[in-house]
Amino acid sequence: MELVQNKPEYWEFIRNLRNHPDVKGGFIQQEDIEKDPHEQYMLRYGLFFYVCLYEGQPAGYVGVIDRDQGE
């Protein structure tokens, strides 16, 4: 496994994983995250996220959650 800096090619993976019913229950914000607001969020905060790659494919992510309100 490898931990890499987030970049635009991983944004949709992060959004899909964050919206997954087994994952979103762990977040305060429960509604699905739409593509355009997510891209705006990533443009602003994307450098605070890292993606875990397994055999070259994204398998998970970590990121800052402080003030995670989509400001």
Residue 28 lies in a domain: yes
Residues 43 and 33: beta-carbon distance below 8 Å: no
- Tens digits of residue pLDDT in 12-60: 999 999 999 999 888 877 889 999 999 999 999 999 999 999 999 999 9
Predicted model pTM: 0.86
C-alpha closest to that of 13 among 37, 30, 43, 38: 38
Residues 41 and 53: beta-carbon distance below 8 Å: no
Q: What distance in Å separates the CA atoms of residue 31 and residue 19, rounded to the nearest whole number?
A: 8
For residue 42, the enclosing domain spans: 2-63
Residue 17 lies in a domain: yes
Residue 69 lies in a domain: no
**Count of domains for the chain:** 1
